[in-house]
Structure 1
């Protein structure tokens, strides 16, 4: 034990910090050992409660994570012995006792680091719907509390708790394995894992709720990206996703104005962009591209990198952005990618060319708010004020949060005062 430390630090604060940093590793190791989400969570909670009492009295142990793992394992043994299903779990109990007796602190540190990848793939199994995969990943790997996840999904904590319980039961009932898939299933499952992490990031970066930015979700997604990059070295799409998130995050401080409205890329103060994140993201992207297996996340990161390189919005290499989007659309046909391609074309070749291209995706994106916002902007740049006004009104009607509505309302207000040009 480390004596004399309790005066310098707050034990509850230290435990909270440890859960944030190491909770995912601890919980994933316990879940893999116990093959039971709920038992693992309950046992870890028991260990954390014990830590408050013991560490406040004795000071921090030399390896807090190892202490928590050993204690949680023993709490699980106690819970199994007391449970009505004790007889059916006797084999698991015996294996757990052997593991507990054999484990050293160093062994536990290695085991904790090894098990997260298995759990990430379990949380993202195709048998689970995507929202459930996001919630489970945030809970089991990200270490977020049920209340925090509920806020991200804009549901009550009780509803989220029920969703998580149903997911755990489905994993158990369906016999979903706690393992990294073999070569035959690797690509499909890795795509699901990357999609879930990026969904978490996007929920923070452009939240569907009233609060436009949820920085803590962006931070959690980037942390998961770093975990996955460490656990899956030499996977270019993993590196590409992390690069993409870092490059987007570099602009986070400039995305809202003092009133809480979105600031367009054109009007953002590039001097406030985080050059450290840009450098890290660019280095990761270059390393990924050198592997010779370009994928959608690498291409999206390359587009954001081009924006980061531009000294100003006007000096952005829009021809290169349009070319990368063209490659991305060919690789992964998607009307949203095509919409972004059209935006790039509007600056590379002119808004008239872009307006013609918009008509080809109108049916697919008629209920998609950014489509109408893009159309409004292009019409306004062409001087077609009345059609632009109607497009802005539709974009405002479809907006999911106050920051978007305020931004679009400001654009509409500026348009109304403009001189109308006949269509």
Structure 2
């Protein structure tokens, strides 16, 4: 197979998976069937494209092929005549639209699929995982690793959720405004989880950057539909603040650089300006929420680009607000790290000591922060042990190398 054909198929699969699934599933009302049909279409592309050449619009080719696969599968099942007719009409309309537009302009309906994945009829514990797989095409094993469950257990949960969407007739639609408050939080969390995976949860810089970009696109699309939702504005601001620092997270040799050591001239000033403008807009609604608070935290860090210093007291205040609104383990650990810088390492360690040992046993950021604070407190022996635990829990080679350097420093301090 010519390598270009394989790469083209992989690129379309990565960039257009959710868009294609959303378009197919919104009409068939069957996510598993849409996924099967698209998988078959991708397999066909790998067989056909090397022989006939890559089509001018690979995404259009895949949509038409998947549509036909879906229709064939429907014919082989026992389907009520009315349902069969509805599916046929919907996909005939879709193919006519495809054929009429040489550039395959068809609606991007991922937001509809996103709200279907976070419907209250589906167990809330699987909302984010379901969105990650169906809307963004993340493999179940990668999702399972992020949620600290077995791939088998995660696959079973995802299958049950998709069947629920089909059998319960869950609508593929952005819900009416009265129903939004209860639904929006799950959607925002799912988008941010996707960005988190794109930030540092996948292997390969291209894959990470692509997934982060998709999450930001979803954030922008959501904001276009809900321009007056301050938490949706806050989420986009948060993601842009983080994305603005992407190129500074590694040095020229690919080594990890922590936030307070990054070269601020490498930060994206235009992106930071947009993020801060969004944060100001969100504040005008006078409904402060956790995503706005996290964006404000990132804005304080971004201010170092102009002031040359970090306002640790401001961060202490913001983290106090964040743990009141959303007391996640990550928020508590980050709060302890900030207190360690604003007050003293001992004060930060006291905060860490209050956390449940069962929660922090396998939580890598806890051990990295603990090791740093122990070093600052002069307890190099305990710091070395914490660094070893943090290294063992990290999936990132660059982060392991960075922590390994600090472990080496701690051991040298012990022996001196």
TM-score, scaled relative to structure 2: 0.77
Q: For residue 90 of structure 1, what is the aligned residue in structure 2?
A: 81
Shift in Å, 1:208: 7.8
Give the counterpart of 2:219 among 216, 225, 228: 225
Residue 230 of structure 2 is aligned to residue 239 of structure 1: no
Residue 381 of structure 2 is aligned to residue 386 of structure 1: yes
Please identify, of 125-134 and 397-406, the stretch whose mean Cα deviation from structure 2 is larger. Answer: 125-134
Please identify, of 234-243 and 221-230, the stretch whose mean Cα deviation from structure 2 is larger. Answer: 221-230
Ranges in structure 2 where 5+ consecutive residues have no aligned partner = none
**In structure 1, C-alpha distance between the alignment counterparts of 2:41 and 2:359, rounded to whole Å:** 50
Shift in Å, 1:120: 0.6
Residue 367 of structure 2 is aligned to residue 372 of structure 1: yes
Give the counterpart of 2:313 among 302, 319, 327: 319
**In structure 1, C-alpha distance between the alignment counterparts of 2:325 and 2:277, rounded to whole Å:** 23
8 A Cα contact 1:372 1:394, kept in partner: yes
Shift in Å, 1:293: 1.6
Please identify, of 121-130 and 236-245, the stretch whose mean Cα deviation from structure 2 is larger. Answer: 121-130
**In structure 2, C-alpha distance between the alignment counterparts of 1:371 and 1:215, rounded to whole Å:** 26
- Please give the per-residue CA displacement for 1:53-98, whole angstroms capped at 9, x wherever unaligned: 8xx799858xx978876776566445433x141xx33112222344
Q: For residue 300 of structure 2, what is the aligned residue in structure 1?
A: 306
Residue 276 of structure 2 is aligned to residue 282 of structure 1: yes
Q: For residue 403 of structure 1, what is the aligned residue in structure 2?
A: 398
**In structure 2, C-alpha distance between the alignment counterparts of 1:344 and 1:124, rounded to whole Å:** 33
Residue 339 of structure 2 is aligned to residue 345 of structure 1: yes
**In structure 2, C-alpha distance between the alignment counterparts of 1:183 and 1:139, rounded to whole Å:** 26
8 A Cα contact 2:118 2:183, kept in partner: yes
- Please give the per-residue CA displacement for 1:138-196, whole angstroms capped at 9, x wherever unaligned: 44433x3x7x6655656999998777555433433454443444556532322122222
Cα separation, partners in 2 of 1:208 and 1:420, compared to 1, 3 Å: farther
Q: Secondary structure at the match of 2:310?
A: coil
Shift in Å, 1:300: 0.4
Shift in Å, 1:119: 1.2
Q: Secondary structure at the match of 2:82?
A: helix
Q: For residue 200 of structure 1, what is the aligned residue in structure 2?
A: 194
Cα separation, partners in 2 of 1:14 and 1:255, compared to 1, 3 Å: closer
8 A Cα contact 1:136 1:164, kept in partner: yes
**In structure 2, C-alpha distance between the alignment counterparts of 1:167 and 1:221, rounded to whole Å:** 22
**In structure 2, C-alpha distance between the alignment counterparts of 1:334 and 1:14, rounded to whole Å:** 40
Please identify, of 387-396 and 376-385, the stretch whose mean Cα deviation from structure 2 is larger. Answer: 387-396
8 A Cα contact 1:124 1:189, kept in partner: yes
Shift in Å, 1:130: 7.0
Shift in Å, 1:211: 9.3
Q: For residue 288 of structure 2, what is the aligned residue in structure 1?
A: 294
Cα separation, partners in 2 of 1:331 and 1:41, compared to 1, 3 Å: closer
**In structure 2, C-alpha distance between the alignment counterparts of 1:265 and 1:112, rounded to whole Å:** 39
Cα separation, partners in 2 of 1:72 and 1:316, compared to 1, 3 Å: same
Cα separation, partners in 2 of 1:41 and 1:384, compared to 1, 3 Å: closer
Cα separation, partners in 2 of 1:68 and 1:415, compared to 1, 3 Å: closer
8 A Cα contact 1:254 1:273, kept in partner: yes
How many residues end up aligned between the 2 structures?
401
Please identify, of 172-181 and 186-195, the stretch whose mean Cα deviation from structure 2 is larger. Answer: 172-181
Q: For residue 412 of structure 1, what is the aligned residue in structure 2?
A: 407
Please identify, of 133-142 and 320-329, the stretch whose mean Cα deviation from structure 2 is larger. Answer: 133-142
**In structure 2, C-alpha distance between the alignment counterparts of 1:402 and 1:349, rounded to whole Å:** 32
8 A Cα contact 1:201 1:221, kept in partner: yes
Q: Secondary structure at the match of 2:227?
A: coil
8 A Cα contact 1:206 1:213, kept in partner: no
8 A Cα contact 2:15 2:210, kept in partner: no
**In structure 2, C-alpha distance between the alignment counterparts of 1:370 and 1:161, rounded to whole Å:** 27
Q: How does 1:171-182 map to 2 (within 5 A)?
A: 171-182=165-176
Ranges in structure 1 where 5+ consecutive residues have no aligned partner = 1-9
8 A Cα contact 1:204 1:217, kept in partner: yes
**In structure 2, C-alpha distance between the alignment counterparts of 1:412 and 1:258, rounded to whole Å:** 22
**In structure 2, C-alpha distance between the alignment counterparts of 1:332 and 1:325, rounded to whole Å:** 10
**In structure 2, C-alpha distance between the alignment counterparts of 1:228 and 1:121, rounded to whole Å:** 10
